[in-house]
Amino acid sequence: MLSDDHVNEIIIQVENVSSGVQSHPSSNQIFQEKVLLDSSINMVLSISDIDVIDSQTVSKRNDQKGNQVLRFSTSLNESMSQTLHSLECMGIDTPGSSHETVQGQKLIASLIPMTSRDRIKAIRNQPRTMEEKRNLRKIVDKEKSKQTHRILQLNCCIQCLNSISRAYRRSKNSLSEILNSISLWQKTLKIIGGKFGTSVLSYFNFLRWLLKFNIFSFILNFSFIIIPQFTVAKKNTLQFTGLEFFTGVGYFRDTVMYYGFYTNSTIQHGNSGASYNMQLAYIFTIGACLTTCFFSLLFSMAKYFRNNFINPHIYSGGITKLIFCWDFTVTHEKAVKLKQKNLSTEIRENLSELRQENSKLTFNQLLTRFSAYMVAWVVSTGVAIACCAAVYYLAEYNLEFLKTHSNPGAVLLLPFVVSCINLAVPCIYSMFRLVERYEMPRHEVYVLLIRNIFLKISIIGILCYYWLNTVALSGEECWETLIGQDIYRLLLMDFVFSLVNSFLGEFLRRIIGMQLITSLGLQEFDIARNVLELIYAQTLVWIGIFFCPLLPFIQMIMLFIMFYSKNISLMMNFQPPSKAWRASQMMTFFIFLLFFPSFTGVLCTLAITIWRLKPSADCGPFRGLPLFIHSIYSWIDTLSTRPGYLWVVWIYRNLIGSVHFFFILTLIVLIITYLYWQITEGRKIMIRLLHEQIINVSPLGSL
C-alpha cells in the first residue's frame, strides 16, 4: 500500500478495449468477469448511503488535502465514465442510475486522499459483506497506484523538500543527542540540582556556558594567529624562573602569549607559496571572535527569554510535575533516587514561590522595609564609590611605583588590592540581607547582582581609563604588552583569591558554624557574588584578548578548575537554601548582565584602542602605523583596484564602515526586544484570565 506522502494528485486511468480492435473472449471468461465486476460495482454504488458523520470527520481530518481532491475530480469522472462505458461494451449490465454513478465517484474520490488508517476505518464501518469491502479496498489501492509520470514530475520538488526536511530533523535530533551524551558534567549537575535546587544549579550552568565560549575563542585564535606565528617565531633567549606564572613578565614576554611578540610582515614560505598577512589575520580574528560572541549572546538571551518568560507552561505553577512527572524509562536505582530528589525539589520550589507571592504586608511593614532598602542602597553606593576612588589613585600611582621599585613582586600590588576589594565588598553586601529581609529570594539575588555589577564594572572602567590614557600615552616601549601583563595578573590574582576563599574561607565558616557558634549553622551558597566573579573574569578576558591572545586558554583552564573546587566546597560547606525558590529565569538575567554592561563596555574599550590610539613603533603586528585601523584602510584601498573584489569594498563602505547600518541594526534589536516584552505581558494576562475562568467554572471554586 502506498504511503500518504505520494497522494498529492490522482488521475485514474482505466485500460479500455480499443474501439477499432475486436475482442472475442470466451463465454466462461465473460461470465467470471461479469460476476466479479457486478459484485464490485454493486458494492461501490450501493455505498452511496455512507454515513454523513464519517464523511464530515474524514473531511476535517484531511482539511489540508481537500484541495488535492478537486484537482483530480475531473479526471476521476472521466475515468468512471470510461469504466462504465467499457462495461457496457463488454455486455455487462451496470446497475444503478447516473445519480448512483456520481455518488460512487464521490465515494472513491473521498477515499483516495485519506490516510491508510482513516480509509480502512471508513470501509470497515460500511454495512457490507467482507468480500465487498475487500473489493472496494482493492479498487482504491489500484487507483492510488496508477499515478502518471507527469504527476510524479510535478511532485518531485515537493518530495525532495519533504525528504530534505525529514533528513534535517533527523540529523538535528541525532546531533542533539550526541551533544547531550558528551556534555560536560551532566551527572554532576543533576546531583547539584537535586540537592540544592535550580538556584544554585544556575551558577554551574552559567560557568559551563562560559567555558564553551572560551573554548571557541581559543580555537579561533590558535588556528589563525598563534600557529602562523609559530612558523616564523625566533628562539626565546630569556631564562625561565617560574616566577613568570605569577607576574606574567620575563620569559613570557617573548612568547606568543603577548601582542608584542607577533610579526608585522607577510608570512610566505617559498617563492611560490601563498602569503599570509599577519596584520589582517590578527585584527580579523579578534573581530570574528567578538562578533561571534555578540551574536551568541543575543541568540542565548532570546532563547532563554523565550523558554523562561514567553512559554505559558512557566506560569502553570508546576502542577503538571506533580501529576504527569515520572519518566518510566528510568530504571537504575541511583537514577531513580536522583529523579525523585529533583522532582521533590522542583515541587517544593514552586509551592514556596506561590506561598511567597500570596503573602501581603501591612502599611507599617512596607514603610519599615522601604526605609531599610534606602539605607542599604545609600551605604552600598558609598562603599562602591570609595573603593573606585581608591583604585583610581592607586592606578595613577602604580606606574611611578614600578619605576622606583625593581622587585619583581611589585607588579602584584595593584592586582592584590583590586582582588581584595572584589572579595571583601561583596561579602559586606551579602550581610545587608539581615536588614532588608526580602520575601522573595529572587529579588534578593537581583539586588545583590546589581550592586556587585556596579562595583566590579566601575573598577574595570577605571582600570581601562588608566590603561588607555596613562599606560598607552606614557611612551613606554610596547605598551600593548604592558596592558596584557596587567590583565593577566588581575585575572590570575582573582582566581587565586577565589580558590583561597573556597578552600579556606568557606571551610573556616563551616567550622565556626558547626562547632564554635552552632546557632549560625551552615551557610548558604551566595549566587550573586559567585556569578559576578565569573562575569568580572570574563570581562577581563574579552578586554585582554587583543593584548594577550592566549587569555581564552588561560580562562578555560581556570574555569575547569573552578568548577571542581566550587563543587567540592558546595557539598562540604553549604546547606540547601532555607527558602526554596524557582530560578528558571536566572540564566536569562546572567547573560543579560554579561551582555550589558560587560560586553558592550568591552566593545567600547577596544573601539577606542583601534580607532584612536597609536600602536607601538617597535613591537607587534601593527608597528609603524598611525592607527590600528589603518591596516584595514590599506587593505580596502588595495582591493578597490581589483575589479573582482569590488563587492568586498562595497560591503565595508556601506555596511561595516557605515554608522547608519549600525544604527538600523540597533533599532531592529530594540524593536525585537520590545516585541518579546509585549508577548510576555500578553501571555501573563492570558494565563491570568484563563486561571480566573477555571476558578469560576470549577465546582471547587464555587465552594
Digit-coded pLDDT (tens) for 385-437: 999 999 999 988 887 888 787 787 888 999 999 999 999 998 888 888 888 87
The answer to whether residues 523 and 573 touch, using CB atoms and an 8 Å cutoff, is yes
Helix (H, G, I), strand (E, B) or coil at 114: coil
CA within 13 Å, CB half, 458: 20
Range of the domain at 150: 114-181
Claim to verify: residue 216 and residue 166 sit in the same structural domain: no
Claim to verify: residue 162 and residue 290 sit in the same structural domain: no
| Least confident interval from 236-250, 300-314, 559-573 | 300-314
How far apart, in Å, are the Cα atoms of 607 and each of 348, 482, 539, 546?
48, 19, 15, 11
Distance CA 3, CA 628 (A): 63
Q: Pick from 608, 626, 644: which residue ends a domain?
A: 626
Claim to verify: residue 270 and residue 126 sit in the same structural domain: no
Helix (H, G, I), strand (E, B) or coil at 476: coil
The rounded percent of the chain whose pLDDT value lies above 90 is: 26
Claim to verify: residue 131 and residue 235 sit in the same structural domain: no
Regarding predicted confidence, which is higher, 477 or 358? 477
Helix (H, G, I), strand (E, B) or coil at 268: strand
Q: Which residues have C-beta within 8 Å of that of residue 225, sequence separation ≥ 6?
A: 256, 262, 281, 282, 285, 549
Claim to verify: residue 587 and residue 561 sit in the same structural domain: yes
| CA 139 to chain CA centroid, nearest Å | 52
CA angle 335, 341, 342 (to 5 degrees): 85
Helix (H, G, I), strand (E, B) or coil at 579: coil
Among 206, 174, 262, 293, smallest CA distance to 542 is for: 293
Give residue 324's pLDDT.
56
Give residue 539's pLDDT.
94
Range ranked top by mean pLDDT from 16-20, 63-67, 117-121, 216-220: 216-220
Pairing mode, strands 275-277 and 523-524: unpaired
Give residue 104's pLDDT.
63
How far apart, in Å, are the Cα atoms of 341 and each of 197, 331, 336?
10, 15, 9
Q: Has residue 358 been placed in a domain?
A: yes
Digit-coded pLDDT (tens) for 184-224: 788 888 888 878 877 788 889 899 989 988 999 999 999 99
The answer to whether residues 565 and 500 touch, using CB atoms and an 8 Å cutoff, is no
Claim to verify: residue 510 and residue 532 sit in the same structural domain: yes
Give residue 116's pLDDT.
75
Range ranked top by mean pLDDT from 161-175, 258-272, 487-501: 487-501
The stretch 580-600 carries a mean pLDDT of 77
Give residue 62's pLDDT.
43
pLDDT exceeds cutoff 50 at 652? yes
Q: Pick from 626, 656, 671: which residue ends a domain?
A: 626
Q: What does pTM read for this prediction?
A: 0.70
Q: Has residue 58 been placed in a domain?
A: no
DSSP-assigned letters across all residues of 600-660: HHHHHHHHHHHHHPPPPSSSSTTTT-SSTTHHHHHHHHHHTT-GGGHHHHHHIIIIIT-HH
Claim to verify: residue 536 and residue 437 sit in the same structural domain: yes
Claim to verify: residue 279 and residue 337 sit in the same structural domain: yes
Among 602, 598, 599, 606, smallest CA distance to 472 is for: 606
The stretch 590-601 carries a mean pLDDT of 89
pLDDT exceeds cutoff 50 at 360? yes
Among 485, 478, 495, smallest CA distance to 410 is for: 485
Digit-coded pLDDT (tens) for 371-392: 888 999 999 999 999 999 999 9
Q: Has residue 656 been placed in a domain?
A: no
DSSP letter for 264, please.
Answer: -
Phi, psi (deg, nearest 5) at residue 277: -80, 110
Q: Has residue 160 been placed in a domain?
A: yes
The sign one gets for the Cα dihedral 631, 635, 640, 646 is negative
pLDDT exceeds cutoff 50 at 15? no
pLDDT exceeds cutoff 90 at 562? yes
AA identity, residue 279: Q
Q: Has residue 652 been placed in a domain?
A: no
Digit-coded pLDDT (tens) for 502-514: 888 888 888 888 8
Cite the DSSP H helix spans in 467-575: 479-500, 506-511, 527-544, 551-573
Q: Has residue 64 been placed in a domain?
A: no
Claim to verify: residue 118 and residue 190 sit in the same structural domain: no
Q: Has residue 71 been placed in a domain?
A: no
Peptide bond into 597 cis (omega under 30): yes
The answer to whether residues 413 and 401 touch, using CB atoms and an 8 Å cutoff, is yes
From first CA to last CA, the distance across the chain in angstroms is 57
Claim to verify: residue 284 and residue 176 sit in the same structural domain: no
Claim to verify: residue 204 and residue 151 sit in the same structural domain: no
Regarding predicted confidence, which is higher, 182 or 21? 182
Claim to verify: residue 295 and residue 147 sit in the same structural domain: no
The answer to whether residues 301 and 591 touch, using CB atoms and an 8 Å cutoff, is yes
Q: Pick from 165, 181, 197: which residue ends a domain?
A: 181
Helix (H, G, I), strand (E, B) or coil at 580: coil
Among 429, 555, 570, 412, smallest CA distance to 495 is for: 555
pLDDT exceeds cutoff 50 at 38? no
Name the grid cell of 449. Answer: 547582582
Give residue 132's pLDDT.
76
pLDDT exceeds cutoff 50 at 361? yes
How far apart, in Å, are the Cα atoms of 620 and each of 259, 287, 466?
6, 17, 21
Q: Which DSSP helix (H) or strand (E) runs through 692?
A: helix 659-697
| Least confident interval from 61-75, 132-146, 366-380, 484-498 | 61-75
